[in-house]
Amino acid sequence: MSNGKQLGKLFGAQLKMMFREKQVWFWNLFFPIILMVIFMVIFGGGGGSDFKAKIAVVKPSATEASDMLEGYLRQVPVLEWKSEQPITAEEADEWVKDKDVDAVIVLPGENETTLGIIVNKENERSATTQAIAGILDKFVQQTNYQVAGVTPTFSVETTAVSSGSEDLSYVDFLLTGMIALAVAQGGLFGMVDMVEMRRKGLLKRLRLTPVKMGLFGVGGMMVRFILGIVQIVILSLIGVFGFGAKLHLDFPTLIVGFLVGALAFNALGYLFSSFSKSIEAYMGMANIASFLMMFLSGIFFPTSGFPEWLVPVSQVLPLTYFVNGIRDGMVYGSGIASADFWAGIGILGAWGIVAFALGVLIYRKTKIEVR
Amino acid sequence: MAILEVKGLRKAFGSVQAVEEISFSVENGEVFTIIGPNGAGKTTTLEMIEGMQAPDRGTISISGMTWDKDADRIKTIIGVQPQSSALFDLLTVEENLDLFGSFYPHSKQSSEVLEMINLTDHRRKNVKSLSGGQRQRLAIGLAMISDPQIIFLDEPTTGLDPQARRNIWDIVLKLKELGKTTILTTHYMEEAEKLSDRVCIVDQGRVVTLDSPANLIDSLTKEREVRLYFQDGESAAAETEQVAKGDSTVVRTELDGSSLKLWSVRPEETLYGVFGFTKEKGYRVEQVSIREMSLEDVFIAFTGKEWRD
């Protein structure tokens, strides 16, 4: 039978095997989806809704100043009022403890000039508390200027920018991170079949036939590419339609990044399989690698917040370059022409080549033990 | 003409000498069985012949070809069922056969093989859900898919129930009818005796003996054990023993209560004389048996019965 026909058969058989294995479905699709949804709901603001803080106001006495401050506060758009009427100090304590409100603002009483914020101890350092404090601070400052009758000369306006598109949001960042992670894990964990095939004597059995093992590998890789494409499509659909992610696709960049990355991570999986005597050993190794990279490669959070000593570690990990490549191709909408992109692809490719070469060497050296 | 010729094979794994010196040749169309205790070197020998291990010394010639020169061609004329039934568990019976068939330049129709291994009704079943006997039959089917000249079956019946074992015997006999050469290993002497044209007993990495089962049994001993049980008690047995001792065909006797054992080179002649005497005396003989010698006796005689582990 010709090579092409043989490859077709091998590809078909491996495709069937992959889609019949429930584990594949769980780990390569269900698990990344769950992980992405959780992260997006917690950190992504759940569908791009704006920041809102629920508050109430305590007004010890109705003075001119407190009336005026209350009036201004009601105009701050991000504050949501739990109660239209001012509440008592006791009620305020109760509401904060029960987390009915994010904060209670205590307006100044007679002959007082300070505004108070009551927050739950648990939330003392939360982003919401910080934001409310920030808003109040600015608000008090503005009021002071007005009372003093001066106009501020300088003001700060923050605009978030990223390379390429103006509207890169955390959701886009997370979506592309999850896609890279899912494809990488597909490779890292996917070679568990090899361990199982070796343990059961199937690799040995194949060597008794004239089949070309290279074709078997190519067929398997084609199947993994298909799985990767399915992952990208499904995660993107959920990200875009469920969480409002905005993609700027650049197909040449995406295709190059995806192919090189998928090959590199499958090569790593192949290397792990070469020295794993059992499925447990293999899974342990793949898990360690995947966890380390998940947090050190900027999947969920940008690496810029890392302590300085950690940066070099992040800079050698292949997932760092893979996720950058995927982001270049999916949200930055650029890359194929940039030197940075190709440097990253080069490092990724180097990881793949070294891992594959080592794997081949170890497979040749170790005698296959069949149980 | 010898289709397989093995000369002076030797193989060590580290300090363990697995195969010391093994030579034999197998004729076209033969069922050739290798038996031996665990660790005798059977599997290592087979793996060297199948090209999975390189021998430290010695030569293997398969249909005039050698592994170092004609590996690809040899692979197309041999079919192997390894000890561990290595199958693609997530594929169906038919898909396994089709896939393996695609590895060879010429292969049989999977329907034909399915018929031979009697799995036609189960062809759409996932391998996962097959019974042990069905798995083993499929493994043999995969060894036959390329219509090879030589088929290696490494302990095909180990761990199977009696029915499943007999099903496998049927397949081996069918292969023989088709003129295929079969190299078999087994732990069941009954099986070796029933199926093989020749049996090769291997122990501690050497060929201990090699012949047809019948010749091996004959060569073991000329005497047969005859056992008689007397209803009339010890005295009748003792008197008969004295008479039998005078018979030239009887080599040795043994008396145990009412039961008498005779070792005779011509059992029918001995019994004729013995029954003449008992009839005359009116002694009643309750049970008579001539113990059949089997391959198992040959095996034990050659490999000993001491504990090995």
- Please name the member of B76, B91, B103 whose beta carbon is closest to the beta carbon of A17: B91
Task: Count CB atoms within 10 A of the CB of residue B279.
Answer: 10
Decide: A21 and B110 in contact? Cβ < 8 Å: no
Q: Residue B144 above 90 pLDDT?
A: yes
Task: Count CB atoms within 10 A of the CB of residue B255.
Answer: 14
Least confident range from A38-52, B23-37, B43-57: namely A38-52
Within 8 A of B83 by CB-CB distance, chain A residues are 201, 370
pLDDT tens for each residue of B229-267 = 988 888 888 888 888 888 888 888 888 888 899 888 888
Taking residues B185-206, report their average pLDDT: 90
Instruction: Give me the phi and psi of A89, to 5 degrees please.
Output: -60, -35
According to the model, what pLDDT value does residue A166 have?
Answer: 46
Within 8 A of B52 by CB-CB distance, chain A residues are 204, 207-208
Sign of CA dihedral B54, B59, B64, B68: positive
- Cα dihedral A125, A128, A129, A132 in deg (nearest 10): 150
Q: State whether A201 and B86 contact (CB < 8 Å).
A: yes
Task: Count CB atoms within 10 A of the CB of residue A127.
Answer: 10
Q: Which residues contact A282 (CB under 8 A, 6 or more apart)?
A: A191, A192, A195, A272, A273, A276
According to the model, what pLDDT value does residue A165 have?
Answer: 44
**What's the first-to-final CA gap in chain B, in angstroms?**
40
A371 vs chain B: nearest CA distance in angstroms?
A: 7
Task: Count CB atoms within 10 A of the CB of residue A170.
Answer: 19
Mean pLDDT score of chain B, rounded to an integer?
Answer: 89
According to the model, what pLDDT value does residue A48 have?
Answer: 43
In which band, very low, low, confident or very high, does the pLDDT at B189 lie, cut at 50, 70 and 90? confident
- Please name the member of B84, B95, B100 whose beta carbon is closest to the beta carbon of A209: B100
Q: Please give the Cα distance from A180 to B180 (Å, whole number).
A: 54
Within 8 A of B100 by CB-CB distance, chain A residues are 209
Q: Please give the Cα distance from A74 to A227 (Å, whole number).
A: 53
Q: Token pair of A361, please?
A: 């060497």
Q: Token pair of B65, please?
A: 């070809």
Q: Please give the Cα distance from B143 to B175 (Å, whole number).
A: 11
Decide: A61 and A110 in contact? Cβ < 8 Å: yes
According to the model, what pLDDT value does residue B225 have?
Answer: 86
Chain A's closest residue to B94, CA to CA, is A13
Pairing of strands B181-185, B150-154: parallel
Q: Quickly list DSSP for A92-145.
A: HHHHHHTTSSSEEEE---TT----EEE--GGGTTSHHHHHHHHHHHHHHHHHHH
According to the model, what pLDDT value does residue A36 have?
Answer: 87
According to the model, what pLDDT value does residue B20 have?
Answer: 92
Decide: A321 and A305 in contact? Cβ < 8 Å: no
Task: Count CB atoms within 10 A of the CB of residue B118.
Answer: 15
Decide: A355 and A274 in contact? Cβ < 8 Å: no
A204 vs chain B: nearest CA distance in angstroms?
A: 8
Q: Token pair of B116, please?
A: 């031979």
Q: Which residues contact B208 (CB under 8 A, 6 or more apart)?
A: B36, B201, B202, B302, B303
Decide: A62 and A188 in contact? Cβ < 8 Å: no
3-state secondary structure of B294: coil
B99 vs chain A: nearest CA distance in angstroms?
A: 6
B116 or A146, higher pLDDT: B116
**Angle made by CA atoms B59, B61, B63, in degrees to the nearest 5:** 175
Decide: B178 and B29 in contact? Cβ < 8 Å: no
B84 vs chain A: nearest CA distance in angstroms?
A: 7
Q: Residue B50 above 90 pLDDT?
A: yes
Within 8 A of B126 by CB-CB distance, chain A residues are 20
Q: Please give the Cα distance from A266 to A29 (Å, whole number).
A: 17
> Any bridge partners for residue B34, and if so which?
B185, B200
Q: What is the pLDDT along chain A (371 residues), one digit of tens a residue?
A: 578 888 999 999 999 998 888 888 888 888 889 988 888 888 765 444 456 778 888 888 878 778 877 887 787 777 788 877 888 888 888 888 888 888 888 888 777 778 788 887 777 767 777 777 777 787 777 777 777 777 766 666 655 555 544 456 788 888 999 999 999 999 998 888 888 888 888 988 998 999 888 899 999 999 999 999 999 999 999 999 888 888 888 888 899 999 999 999 999 999 999 988 888 999 999 999 998 898 888 888 887 778 888 888 888 899 999 998 888 888 877 667 788 888 889 999 999 999 999 998 988 887 654 44
- Please name the member of A20, A204, A208 whose beta carbon is closest to the beta carbon of B75: A208
Q: State whether A208 and B50 contact (CB < 8 Å).
A: yes
According to the model, what pLDDT value does residue A51 have?
Answer: 63
Q: Please give the Cα distance from B282 to B273 (Å, whole number).
A: 14
According to the model, what pLDDT value does residue B265 have?
Answer: 86
Q: Token pair of A63, please?
A: 């003075």
Within 8 A of B87 by CB-CB distance, chain A residues are 202
- State whether ipTM is beyond 0.90: no
Chain B's closest residue to A16, CA to CA, is B91
Q: Token pair of B283, please?
A: 């002694």
Task: Count CB atoms within 10 A of the CB of residue A47.
Answer: 11
